[in-house]
Amino acid sequence: SRSLYEVQCESVASELHLEHLRHARPTTRVKRVPITAANKKTVAEYHRIRDRVVRYVKPEHNTNVNILRIERICNPVLDQRLYRAFDQLHKKDCFPELLIHGTRSKFAENIISNGFNIGKQGMFGAGIYFATDSSKSIQYASDNKVKTLLLCEVLLGKTLICTSAQTNLNLQTVQNQGYDSVRGRGELKRTEIKENDENTAQEYFKVLDRVGRYIRDEHNFRVEILSIEKVENPVLDRRLREVSQRMHGRSRRPELLIHGTRSRFVEQMIRDGFSYQRKGLFGQGFYFYTDSTKAARGCGRDATKCLLLCDVQLGNSMAMESADRSLNLSRVESAGFDSVYGVRGTKESGGVFNDEYVVFRTEQIAPMYLVRFREVSKCTAHIFVCSTYARS
């Protein structure tokens, strides 16, 4: 079984909380510690928790948040209960997520002392509901003036994604399907961006340039863009931000890289994220490329092909100049890295001719653009690309 001390966490608050537990004397007493910006020991934690609340206020919820007080809660009984729950999950290789629950102040004290009780019937059955957005959770904190939000470590395990209400769900029905929790998917937004639309033209040419200027002669074909869609998936975007906090290179910005795939797979990848890891020179993982024509090799023989331009959180990359097919997440992480970079121009030493990047967690990927294209002859494509750039 997994012990408390083996668990890694994805937020500064969680890390500090676990550090406190490691060095605390055995007790069952609930401890509450004020977290303030004035205290050097808690200032980092204060700003991270404040940002976690304030930055997740959505305009459509028509509310503003003024933080009055933050407390760190340490309840040894509930902490041990949480970490014992790992053994009951269908998916055990997961991390606690820091999610938000809004409640009335009089109920918060009992929750802090004794834990949650199963709540009333909701969209996904009777359960305990959490939200990513603080302004959504505030709707359930019904006190008139001072409202209470509980930021909780939640073990989601394997999550059942629901796109519409399923009020008949309960623990047994969810577990019988092989899941540990339920997630109501945030609204997926897809917008076609066009060159002749003044609202999207600048973005259109930015993506066109990213694809068109990374066509390599050695791949012996050119690309004719048919359409470009902007993808906004709040679930995958949030997952990308959160995984960044538990990576070795947590301060790095995501890179916009390219992945080619078959048309029949692309809809699920946009909706639910990447799931299929292919075997390659650097182990079994998710492969991305700088060059659009290299990525296009993954599109198969479809007449209309698909490229996904994705924000990929590489963190610290392990540079490889020769193949190592045995690489995996465990080996890469234990060496202090978060991804693998196949160095361009190392073909003679057993490496790759073009840049390759590999990540092993689907959470490190968020699709940003879907580009549909077709292959054309070099001569035709050369005229197409040049004339398009001339108009830009």
Edge-first strand order for the sheet with 356-359 is 278-280, 283-288, 356-359, 339-342, 317-320
Which one-letter amino acid corresponds to residue 150?
Answer: L
Q: What is the pLDDT of residue 379?
A: 53
Question: 166 vs 123, 125, 182, CA distance in Å?
Answer: 6, 7, 10
Q: Which of 24, 118, 124 is nearest to 74 (CA)?
A: 24
Q: What is the pLDDT of residue 80?
A: 87
Q: Which residues pair with 79 in a beta bridge?
A: none
Q: Which residues pair with 161 in a beta bridge?
A: 183
Lowest mean pLDDT among 28-32, 179-183, 258-262: 28-32
Cβ(215)–Cβ(384) below 8 Å: no
Task: Please state whether 125 falls in left (phi above 0), alpha (psi between -120 and 50) or beta.
Answer: left
Q: Does residue 24 have a pLDDT over 70?
A: no
Up-side HSE of residue 348: CA atoms within 13 Å toward CB? 1
CATH for 189-391, options being 1.10.10.10, 2.40.50.180, 1.10.1240.10, 3.90.228.10: 3.90.228.10
Higher pLDDT, 35 or 217: 35
Q: Which of 204, 188, 391 is nearest to 309 (CA)?
A: 204
The domain limits of the chain are 4-157, 189-391
Q: What is the pLDDT of residue 71?
A: 94
Q: What does pTM read for this prediction?
A: 0.58
Q: Does residue 371 have a pLDDT over 50?
A: yes
- Which residues are CB-contacts of 36 (< 8 A; sequence separation ≥ 6)? 42, 43, 46, 70
214-273, pLDDT tens digit by residue? 887 665 677 889 999 999 988 888 889 888 888 988 778 899 999 999 998 998 899 888
Which one-letter amino acid corresponds to residue 99?
Answer: L
Q: Does residue 386 have a pLDDT over 50?
A: no
Same fold, 4-157 and 189-391: yes
| Three-state DSSP state, 143 | coil
* C-alpha dihedral, 348 to 354 to 359 to 364, nearest 10°: 160
Question: 275 vs 95, 271, 293, CA distance in Å?
Answer: 18, 11, 23
CATH for 4-157, options being 1.10.760.10, 3.40.50.300, 3.90.228.10, 3.40.50.10470: 3.90.228.10
Q: What is the pLDDT of residue 3?
A: 35
Q: Which of 264, 262, 301, 294 is nearest to 280 (CA)?
A: 294
Edge-first strand order for the sheet with 222-232 is 189-193, 222-232, 365-376, 305-312, 255-261
Distance of alpha carbon 211 from alpha carbon 376, whole angstroms: 15
| Three-state DSSP state, 121 | strand
Q: What is the pLDDT of residue 23?
A: 55
Lowest mean pLDDT among 9-18, 286-295, 300-309: 9-18
